[in-house]
Amino acid sequence: MMGTQKAVFPFGQPWITAEDRQVVLEVLQSPLLTQGPQVRAFEEEFARFLGGECFCVAVSSCMAALHLAYLQLGLGPGDEVLLPAQTHVATAHAVELVGAKPVFVDCDPHTGNINPDLLPALITPRTRALSVVHFLGIPCDMEEILTLAQSFGLWVVEDCALAPGARLRGKPVGLWGDVGCFSFYPVKHLTTGEGGMLVTRHAEVAEAVARLRAFGLERSTARPGLYDVVALGLNYRMSEMQAALGRGQLRRLGENLERRQANFARLRENLADLEGIRILDVKDEKEASSHYCLSVVLEGGLRERRSQILAQLQREGVGTSIYYPHPVPRLTYYRSKYGFSPQTYPQALAISDGSIALPVGPHLTPSDMDSIAQSFRRALRGRS
Ligand SMILES: *Cc1c(COP(=O)(O)O)cnc(C)c1O
């Protein structure tokens, strides 16, 4: 956020209760600070939250989960992974880190999700995997994606960083593909300070990832302290304090999602009659978004006025953000490595250069949404 003025309606705010603080302090008095009962319980409870038919591995971040996913799937130099241009850089960095090549795909203008129609033309004999991001919590059309992935024999990695609780045809995101990755960074739906969860329907993937997150080490069941190392690994573990915090956060996720939904609906209704804007949202009301924020895409002449509109919102105390300020291929690292042609990503650019993300988090109420809408309307008119 710009300036030093404190927002009346912050864009995001971690929801930490007295009970959350208490459980973390209790862990600090226990004998185990890592690899203990809290992490195991958090993994089990997260699997139950997703309906039970999966395995969960708690890790140090969503980026760590994505990296482990590609390591475990055995991707490396010479391989290509299709992924959306409009996403957090972590989605692409994880592919780069294993030496594979990210192939960026433009998005759907209504949802911000990867556009499946563009995929067939980008698939080559080197394509091994397809990564989707449920943009701002809006579920991707996984039926279409899976049909395509199956016919080309591709792994599917779901980046669910902003999508805990999002569902498609009633089935949670993260369980459609081979691996799903969640984030517990402070401004996401749940937080453990830093943290992530890898979920998978495949027991062998979960076992391998659990080893890779802890040096590739296999403990002897016969004698404490004895172990062997069976693979090259990392240290991407989550601590007991983080897991204890995550468990409390998870218990409130239902209420968190309900508040977000109510706020989103109220704000959308408040902005419905405005011309020259569109709101990124599900195409079919039956599908469940996790409502990370409400992103407004400015069209036509309004697009040039974005920085003015953002500045006025800030003056009125409305916290805003931009998801995401650059399509990943335009970021310096990627642009200098692979080149960047704007005409390939018109929709991703419309979002990066013309959108404003408004807050709908559980720290705000439906009547706050009325105030935010009023500020937004004033800012669009260019008057205070
Ligand atoms: C935040 C985010 C990430 C990275 O999450 P970390 O837990 O901070 O590593 C990855 N993908 C998306 C879509 C995100 O929004």
How close is the Cα of 324 to the center of ligand 1, in Å? 11
Q: Ligand 1, atom 6: nearest CA belongs to which residue? A: 62
Query: What number does the ligand 1 atom closest to the CA of 188 have?
Result: 1
How close is the Cα of 62 to the center of ligand 1, in Å? 5
Give me the percent of the chain exceeding a pLDDT of 70: 98
Q: Ligand 1, atom 2: nearest CA belongs to which residue? A: 161
CB 46 within 8 A of CB 253: no
In the block, tokens 């172990």 appear at 227
- Ligand 1 mutation target, pool 60, 136, 183, most atoms within 8 A of CB: 183
Pocket (CB within 6 angstroms of ligand 1): 61-63, 87-88, 90-91, 133, 159, 161-162, 183, 185, 196
Q: Per residue in 247-279, pLDDT tens?
A: 999 999 999 999 999 999 999 999 999 999 999
Q: What is d(CA 361, CA 294) in angstroms, rounded to the nearest whole number? A: 10
CB 71 within 8 A of CB 98: yes
Amino acid identity, position 324: Y
**How sure is the predictor about 7, in pLDDT bands with cuts at 50, 70 and 90?**
confident
Q: Is 102 exposed, middle or buried (0-12, 13-18, 19+ CB in 10 A)?
A: buried
**How sure is the predictor about 1, in pLDDT bands with cuts at 50, 70 and 90?**
very low
Q: What is d(CA 325, CA 191) in angstroms, rounded to the nearest whole number? A: 23
Q: What is d(CA 53, CA 204) in angstroms, rounded to the nearest whole number? A: 14
| Two structure tokens written together for 180 | 């799903």
How close is the Cα of 86 to the center of ligand 1, in Å? 13
Q: What is d(CA 375, CA 371) in angstroms, rounded to the nearest whole number? A: 6
Q: Per residue in 223-246, pLDDT tens?
A: 888 999 999 999 999 999 999 999
Arithmetic mean of pLDDT, 309-338: 98
Q: What is d(CA 109, CA 101) in angstroms, rounded to the nearest whole number? A: 25
Q: Per residue in 91-145, pLDDT tens?
A: 999 999 999 999 999 999 999 999 999 999 999 999 999 999 999 999 999 999 9
The pLDDT of residue 223: 83
The pLDDT of residue 383: 62
Give me the percent of the chain exceeding a pLDDT of 90: 94
Arithmetic mean of pLDDT, 345-370: 98
| Two structure tokens written together for 308 | 């003015």
Q: What is d(CA 115, CA 184) in angstroms, rounded to the nearest whole number? A: 27
- Ligand 1 mutation target, pool 88, 97, 107, 194, most atoms within 8 A of CB: 88
Arithmetic mean of pLDDT, 300-314: 96
CB 120 within 8 A of CB 99: no
DSSP 8-state code for residue 81? E
Q: What is d(CA 235, CA 211) in angstroms, rounded to the nearest whole number? A: 10
Q: Ligand 1, atom 5: nearest CA belongs to which residue? A: 62
Phi, psi of 157 (to 5 degrees): -110, 120
Q: What is d(CA 60, CA 49) in angstroms, rounded to the nearest whole number? A: 20
Query: What number does the ligand 1 atom closest to the CA of 184 have?
Result: 7
First to last CA, the chain: 20
- Ligand 1 mutation target, pool 68, 136, 159, 190, most atoms within 8 A of CB: 159
How close is the Cα of 230 to the center of ligand 1, in Å? 29
| Two structure tokens written together for 220 | 């002897």
Q: Alpha helices, DSSP H only, in the chain?
A: 18-28, 37-49, 62-73, 89-97, 142-152, 203-212, 240-251, 253-271, 306-315, 332-338, 346-354, 366-381
Whether the per-residue pLDDT at 5 is higher than 90: the answer is: no
